Amino acid sequence: MEFEEWELRHKEAFFEIKEALSYLEGIFVAYNSNIDAIKHLTPEDLCHLLELFDQDALQERVELYPREIKEPLDILARLLLSMREGKAAEVPTYTPEIHSWLKENLGFDYARMGGQAGIITNLLARLELKKVVAYVPWLSEEQAGYFANTKNLLHPKIERGKLVLKHPKEAFKPNIGSKVNWIFEYSKGMLVDCGTDKFTVPRDNRLILSSRPKWLRLEMDQQIYAALDSLGPLDGAILSGYQMIKEEYEDGATYSDYVGNSVKAIEKLKALNPGLRLHVELTSIQNRLIRKTILKEIIAGRIHSLGLDTVEVANALNVLGEEELSYAVIKKGENGIIALYQGAVRLLQALALERVHVHCLGFYICVLAKGHPLNLKGHRNALLFASTLAATKALHGKVEGLLESEASLKVPVSEKGLEDLENFKLYCVGRKLCTLDEFEYGYVYGRDHNAVFVPSKVVSEPKATVGIGDTISAGAFTGMLALMKQNLAGKGKNSKRKEGSQTLETRVFSA
C-alpha cells in the first residue's frame, strides 16, 4: 500500500466532506456527558501510589480482576492490568469516598468535557453543523459550562409545558450534582516495576474510573419524550451511555425498566424521522448481563451503525456466544486483523446492523451490509475524514474547528497501520474478497457484506488519548451522512445520479 497515495486520499476526503457537511439538517446526541478529571501518570506518580500498598495484596487483587472499584487497591490493580497490555478500560465506582482519596493522594492535571455524548456534541458543534441537539439527563450547571459556546449547540428544555431548544447553559437542571470521572493516562515506554511484576507499557492509553452517583439514571425526561417532535428535522442520532444502566436500583427498579425506556426513545425518534440513521458508540461494559442486554435488546435490529475498538469487539463477541472468535481478537489485538475483520462481520450479522466501524491504532475497518446507499469511496472518505479529526484531537486534546483540523492533515499516515493492512492482503485476495487493485483502494467485497479499510494518521506523542475513539466514530458517521445527503441532492461527486460509467473507484457496491 502506498503511503503517498493515502496522504493524498486524506486530503481529498477532508475537503470533500467539509463541503458536504452543510447538507445536514441536524444531529441528535444523547445521553452521557460528565467532567473528566485527567491525570497523566508519571513514573513518580506510579511509584508513589505503589508505595501505599502491600505488594502481595496488590498482586492478589490483580488476579481477582476487580470489575468495580470498591477501594483504592482496586484502582491500582486495574491500572496495572491496563498498563501491562496498553489496553483501554473503564471501571465503575459507586463509592464516593474514592473521589476524595484520589484528590488527596494523586490529584489531577486538568478537567475537560467527558462522556461520549459530551465529547461528540462539542466535536459536531465545532464542525459547524447547522444544528446539534444534545440531551443529557443529568445536565448540571457546572456540566453545562463544559459545552462549546456555539449557537448551533442546543439542548431541549420544557418551558411553560412546551419543548424549547436552548444552549445547555440555559437548559441545565438546577440543584443537581455533577458526574466526575477520573482518567489515568499513561505513555508508551514507561517502565513499571512492582513486586514480581516488571514491564514496559506497550502503548499510550488510559484507564477510566467512572463515577456512578446514586442519582444517575439513563432515561429521557417524560415531558421531553412526549415532545420529541419539536426537535425539528434530524439526519442522524448518536447514542451512548447505556453502560450506566444497573442491574438493580435502590428503589426496586431494574435494568429492564431502563432498557425498555431506551428502546421507546429510539423507536419514537425513528417514527418521527423516517430517514433517520442511528449510531451507538460502545465502550467497556464490565457487567456481562448488561453488556449482552444492551447488544441484544437495544442495538440489535434497531440501530444502523456501531462504533467500537478492538477490546470492545472481543467483549461484544464474548457475550454473543462467539467465545473462540472473541479470544482470537483479544489474543492478537490489532495484529490479528483477520480475526478483527471476521469479528466485525459477525457483529454486523448477529446484530442486524448496516455498518460496523472498528477503530484501531493505525487503521480502521468498516464493515457494511449489502445495499447501503453510499458507495465504498464515500465510506472510505468518511473514514479518512475521521482520521484527520482524530489526529487533531490527539495533537491538541480537542478539536477547535475545521481550520485547525485542516492543519493536522500534515500528521503522517501510520507506517505500522499500513504494515498491519499488508498482512490482510493475502487473506482478502486469496479468498477472492477483492482483487489486488481493489485491495489497494481499501475495498473488500464479501458474500453478504462489503468492507472498507484505511490506514489512519497517528500522532506519536498524543496530548491525551481519551475521546479519540469518539472523535473517530462520530466524524466518520457524520461524514457518511453528509455525503449521503449531498448525493440525495444530486450534488455529490460520487452520487449515483452523476455516475455514467462506473469506474472502480466509484463502483456502487449495492445491487
CB of 362 to ligand GLC, least distance (A): 19
To the nearest whole angstrom, how small is the minimum distance from the Cβ of residue 36 to ligand GLC?
A: 5
Q: With respect to ligand GLC, which residue has the nearer C-beta, 163 or 298?
A: 298
Q: Select from 74, 90, 334, 354 the one that contacts ligand GLC (CB under 6 A).
A: 90
How far apart are CB 283 and ligand GLC at their closest, in Å? 5
Query: Exactly one of 16, 309, 322, 470 binds ligand GLC (CB under 6 A); which one?
Result: 470
**Amino acid present at 407:** A
Check binding of 239 to ligand GLC (CB under 6 A).
Answer: no
Strand, helix or coil for residue 438: helix
Q: With contacts defined by CB under 6 A, name the span among 350-358, 376-384, 440-448, 464-472 that binds ligand GLC.
A: 464-472
Which residue of 467, 475, 479, 492 would you call a contact of ligand GLC, by CB under 6 A? Answer: 467
Give the dihedral sign, CA 302/383/323/427.
positive
Q: Out of 235, 309, 420, 470, which one is annotated catalytic? A: 470
Which is nearer to ligand GLC, 119 or 356 (by Cβ)? Answer: 119
Decide if 114 contacts 223 (C-beta within 8 A): no
Rule CB under 6 A: say whether 92 interacts with ligand GLC.
no
Beta-sheet pairing, 277-281 with 162-166: unpaired
Q: Which is nearer to ligand GLC, 343 or 467 (CB)?
A: 467
Q: Is 299 in the site for ligand GLC (CB under 6 A)?
A: no
Region of 30-38, 64-72, 246-254, 397-405 interacting with ligand GLC (CB under 6 A):
30-38
Task: Please count the other Cβ atoms lying within 10 Å of the Cβ belonging to residue 284.
Answer: 20
Residue (49 or 466) nearer to ligand GLC, CB: 466
> Is 283 near ligand GLC (CB under 6 A)?
yes
For the CB of residue 251, give the shortest distance to ligand GLC in the complex, in Å. Answer: 24
DSSP calls for 109-155: SEEEEESHHHHHHHHHHHTT-S-EEEE-TT--HHHHTTS---TTEEE
- The whole-angstrom separation of Cα 66 and Cα 93 is 11
Site pattern 184..223 for ligand GLC (x: CB under 6 A) = ------------------------x-x-------------
Fill in the per-residue mask, 117 to 156: x = in contact with ligand GLC (CB under 6 A), - = not in contact: --x-------------------------------------
Q: Which is nearer to ligand GLC, 36 or 235 (CB)?
A: 36
CB of 5 to ligand GLC, least distance (A): 31
Does residue 4 contact residue 82 with C-beta atoms inside 8 Å?
no
Q: Give the closest residue to 468 by CA, choosing from 401, 393, 358.
A: 393
Q: Which stretch binds ligand GLC (CB under 6 A): 15-23, 64-72, 114-122, 347-355?
A: 114-122
Cα gap 483→378, rounded to integer Å: 7
Q: Which is nearer to ligand GLC, 181 or 494 (CB)?
A: 181
437 tagged catalytic? no
DSSP 413: B
Task: Report whether 422 contacts 414 (CB < 8 A).
Answer: no
Question: Considering beta carbons, is residue 115 or 492 the nearer one to ligand GLC?
Answer: 115
Q: Which stretch binds ligand GLC (CB under 6 A): 67-75, 386-394, 446-454, 466-474?
A: 466-474
Q: Does 181 bind ligand GLC (CB under 6 A)?
A: yes
User: Do the beta carbons of residue 415 and residue 3 sit within 8 Å?
Assistant: yes
Total Cβ atoms within 10 A of residue 364? 26
Among candidate residues 202, 227, 186, the one with its CA nearest the CA of residue 42? 186
Q: Which residue, judged by CB position, is nearest to ligand GLC in the bound state?
A: 114
Piece of 115-123, 165-173, 302-310, 323-331 that binds ligand GLC (CB under 6 A):
115-123
Among 20, 34, 276, 295, binds ligand GLC (CB under 6 A): 34
Among 266, 282, 319, 466, interactor with ligand GLC by CB under 6 A = 466
Among 6, 50, 73, 116, binds ligand GLC (CB under 6 A): 116
Residues 6 or more apart in contact with residue 78 via CB below 8 angstroms: 66, 69, 89, 91, 207
Helix axes 97-105, 72-85, angle to 10 degrees: 70
Distance, CA of 194 to CA of 169 (rounded, Å): 46
**Residue 488, Cβ density class (10 Å: 0-12 exposed, 13-18 middle, ≥19 buried):** middle
Q: Which residues contact 49 (CB under 8 A, 6 or more apart)?
A: 76, 79, 105, 106
State in angstroms the smallest separation of the CB of 179 from ligand GLC. 8
Q: What angle is formed at CA 290 by the lines to CA 284 and CA 294, rounded to 5 degrees?
A: 85
CA angle at residue 335 from 41 to 279, to 5 degrees? 75
CB of residue 243 to ligand GLC, shortest distance in Å? 8
> In the structure grid, which three cell numbers stand for residue 91, read together?
471501571
Among 32, 273, 456, 486, binds ligand GLC (CB under 6 A): 32
- Pair 396, 404: CB distance under 8 Å: yes
Binding-site size for ligand GLC (CB under 6 A) equals 16
Catalytic residues: 470
User: Which positions lie near ligand GLC, rule CB under 6 A?
Assistant: 32, 34, 36, 90, 114-116, 119, 181, 208, 210, 283, 466-467, 469-470
